[in-house]
Amino acid sequence: MKASSKRTNVNVVTAVTAKATKATKAATDPHLDTPAHSGLPPRVQRLMSGPTWRDASRDPDFLQRPDMRGLRLQLEYEKAQRGLQAAGIDHTVVVYGASRTLDPAVARKHFAQARRALRAQPDDHTLQAAVHAAGRLVERSASYEVARELGRLVGASKATATLPKLTIVTGGGPGIMAASNRGASEAGAPSVGLNITLPHEQFPNPWQSPELCFRFHYFGIRKLHLLERAKAAVFFPGGYGTLDELFEVLTLLQTRKITPLPVVLVGSAFWHKAVNFEFLADEGMIDHVDKALFTFCETADEIWSTIRDWYAAAQPRRTNHGRGKGR
C-alpha cells in the first residue's frame, strides 16, 4: 500500500473516532443542556432532555425563581468582588453625577442646531423652549470638564504616606460618569464602571477599563460595591439617582456605619438650591454639626486638594484604616 493511501486511511479513522467520541460525550455528559441522545431509548432521551435533568448552575428557570433571589444577590456581589480583587482595586474615589451632562463640544453642537431650527421658525414656542433647554445644557457642560480633569488627577496620582493609590469608580454610564472614566483613561490609569440594568437600556461608556466594566441587576449590590473601597465620594449635580446616593452616604456617615471619608459636593450654587441643608438644621431634622459631613468645591484641583488635605489632617487620629462595619 502506498504511503499516501495509508495517511488517507489514518485520517479517515481519526475523523470517525473523533466524531464517535463527541457523540458519546454528548450522550453522557450531564452538563450539556441539549445532548445528542440518538443512541438511547426514547424514554431515556425524554428524561435527559427535561428541566430536572439540567444542572442547577445551568438552569435559568431555576435560578430566576423568586425564592432564589438570595443566591442571585450573592452571585452578583461575588462576581464583582472577585473581579475587583483580581485587578488589585482596593482604594477608590467614587464619582456620582448626572447622566445627562454633556461633553461641552456636544452641548454646543446641540445648541447651534436648536438655534438654526428656531431661526427658520422664530415664532415656534416648542423651538424656543428647545433653545432655552439647549442653552442650559451648555452651561451645565462645564461640570463635564471638571469631572474629566478630576479623573486625570486621580489617575495620575501616586500613593503617599497618608493616602494610598486611588482608582476612579463610577456608575459606568454617560455624562459625569463617562467624564471621570475618560479622564482616568487619558491619564493611562484603569477605572471601574459599575453599570446597572435599567428599563431604558444603559450602555457602558467607552472609557471604563474592559476588565473592570461590571453590570448589576440589583441597585443594593451596586451601591455596596460603589462604597466598599471608597476613600472619597464626589457628587456632581444630578437628579434623583444622585440625590439618592448622596443621602445614603450622608446617612451612613451620620450613623457611623462606615469609616469616615471626605464627601465633596461640586458646584455650591446648584447644591444650595437643590437641598436646603440650613433649613433642615434649623428645623431640627439634622444637627448643625452634620453639615460638616461634606465640603463644597468648584474645580478639580479644589476637589483633589480637599481629599488629600482631609487624609493628611485625619491621619494622626485615625486608628482604623480598614473598611467600616457598614461596607
Q: List CB contacts of 105: < 8 A, sequence separation 6 or more.
A: none
Same domain, 133 and 256: no
Count of the separate structural domains present in the chain: 2
Same domain, 287 and 250: yes
Same domain, 112 and 260: no
- Considering only CA atoms, which of 5, 23, 25, 3 is closest in space to residue 15? 23
In eight-state DSSP terms, residue 286 is: S
Q: How many CA atoms lie within 13 A of 263 on its CB side?
A: 21
Same domain, 223 and 263: yes
| Host domain of residue 155 | 76-102+141-316
**Is 160 part of any domain?**
yes
Full pLDDT tens readout for the chain, 327 residues: 545 544 444 454 444 444 444 444 444 444 444 455 678 999 998 889 888 889 988 999 999 999 999 999 999 999 999 999 999 999 999 999 999 999 999 989 988 999 999 899 989 899 889 989 889 889 999 999 999 999 999 999 999 999 999 999 999 999 999 999 999 999 999 999 999 998 876 799 999 999 999 999 999 999 999 999 999 999 999 999 999 999 999 999 999 999 999 999 999 999 999 999 999 999 999 999 999 999 999 999 999 999 999 999 986 645 444 444 445
What does the pLDDT read at residue 324?
A: 43
What does the pLDDT read at residue 320?
A: 43
- Considering only CA atoms, which of 310, 316, 300, 228 is closest in space to residue 261? 310
**Is 194 part of any domain?**
yes
Same domain, 90 and 199: yes
Same domain, 114 and 195: no
What Å distances lie between residue 183 and 86, 130, 147, 191, 306, CA to CA? Answer: 23, 30, 8, 9, 19
Same domain, 115 and 156: no
Cell 438552569 appears where? 59
How far is it, in rounded angstroms, from Cα 71 to Cα 65?
10
Contact 80, 220 (CB under 8 A): no
Contact 138, 108 (CB under 8 A): yes
Same domain, 133 and 209: no
What does the pLDDT read at residue 177?
A: 98
**Is 197 part of any domain?**
yes
